[in-house]
Amino acid sequence: MRKITDGEIRFFDENGFVICKNVLNADELGNFQRESRRLIERIQREETQENRMCLLGPEGVPYYLTYLHVHPNDFSLRLLAHPFIGDLLTRMVGRDFVPCYESLVFKLPGNGSSVPWHLDGNPVDGDERIFNIDLYPDVSNVENSCVWCVPGSHLWEPEKAVEWMRKGREDFRAMEAVGAVPAEMEPGDVLLHHVKVLHGSDRNRSSDLRRVVYFDNRAWSWNERYWWFNEETMQKRARLYQYALHERKENPYPQDDELFEYLPPSHFPKWSAGEPIDLHSERRR
């Protein structure tokens, strides 16, 4: 199965983002498309859990389903357990990585939410590789308002980033003056973007539905330094990842030819098959 290359990692370090082509195989991609569409249909109904847990964008339309795994589906845990993800996190974050966030973000046809220029949450002063893994089931291009990134902006001084973020929020395409480029994707591609790289997307006025699943991951050693979450949260999150790997092992896709083996941080409890699992694993400080 596909692995991130050394060249892709170098590109990420230099630019703050990288597009990895053709990661998801056809069977997984098809299930991703079907199941995420079903969740979006539930979001559009009133009085559903998905509707209550979906955030609205600047235009007042739903676009961001939080805590993806807690919403019954048969794709998100297995997607998290893809060997591509475990391999790249081991190499780019460290063996003590812990998956911390998961969300389904979407732009509805004809009235898809914009996402103003921004940096992601919890940026730090250090040089840790803190990034999102963005998995795409759809074509994402300029016509249906793909994400744009400013190459190298993860290395800027904070004051410069804030100033240009302000300009970009006044005029989205103003960021082209500092080299903003569209990250155009095909179904099955994966985008990695650093939390400190300037990025955003315009409103979707096309007839296309555009979807992406985001996974954010942190090292336990980094959490000890910055204390984003308490230890109980990190332990629950590590157990959740072990459960996801078990789910993929027990329910493989036809094209699966390997599994990722994970060892949680040494003092964390290991999860065993049959033990209860908290799919919410709420993030707490």
Q: What is the mean pLDDT of residues 274-284?
A: 95
Nearest to 107 by CA among 155, 141, 69, 157: 141
pLDDT of 98 higher than 80: yes
Give the residue carrying structure tokens 């230890």.
231
pLDDT tens-digit series, residues 196-249? 999 999 999 999 999 999 999 999 999 999 999 999 999 999 999 999 999 999
Which pLDDT score, from 0 to 100, does residue 210 have? 97
**pLDDT confidence of residue 231:** 96
Q: Could you report the per-residue pLDDT of 159-181, keeping only the tens digit for each?
A: 999 999 999 999 999 999 999 99
- The topology (CATH level 3) of 6-227 is Jelly Rolls (2.60.120)
Residue 108's pLDDT band (boundaries 50, 70, 90)?
very high
Q: Given pLDDT bands bounded at 50, 70 and 90, which one contains residue 140?
A: very high
Q: Tell me the residue ranges of DSSP E strands in the chain.
A: 17-20, 54-56, 62-66, 97-107, 115-118, 131-135, 148-149, 181-182, 190-194, 199-201, 210-219
pLDDT of residue 178: 96
Strand partners, 66: 103
d(CA 224, CA 219): 9
- Checking if the pLDDT of 122 tops 80, the result is no
CA 266-269-273 angle, to 5 degrees, is: 125
Q: DSSP per residue over 133-156, as a string?
A: EEE-SS-B-TTTT--EE-TTGGGS
Instruction: Specify the pLDDT at position 58.
Output: 96
Angle at 88 between CA 83 and CA 92, to 5 degrees: 160
| DSSP-assigned beta bridge partners for residue 272 | none
pLDDT of 279: 97
pLDDT beyond 80 at 155? yes
Mean per-residue pLDDT, 64-78:
98
pLDDT at 125 (0 to 100):
83
pLDDT of res. 27: 97
Could you tell me which residues are beta bridge partners of residue 216?
101, 132
How much is the mean pLDDT over the chain? Answer: 96
Question: Following DSSP, what letter does each residue of 182-208 receive, concatenated?
Answer: E--B-TT-EEEEETTS-EEE--B-SS-
pLDDT in tens, 4-58: 999 999 999 999 999 999 999 999 999 999 999 999 999 999 899 999 999 999 9
User: Are residues 196 and 127 in contact, defined by beta-carbon separation less than 8 angstroms?
Assistant: no
Q: What is this structure's pTM?
A: 0.96
Mean pLDDT (whole number) for 178-195: 98
Whether pLDDT at 123 is above 80: no
Question: What percentage of the chain has pLDDT greater than the value 70?
Answer: 100
Confidence of residue 126 (pLDDT cuts 50, 70, 90): confident
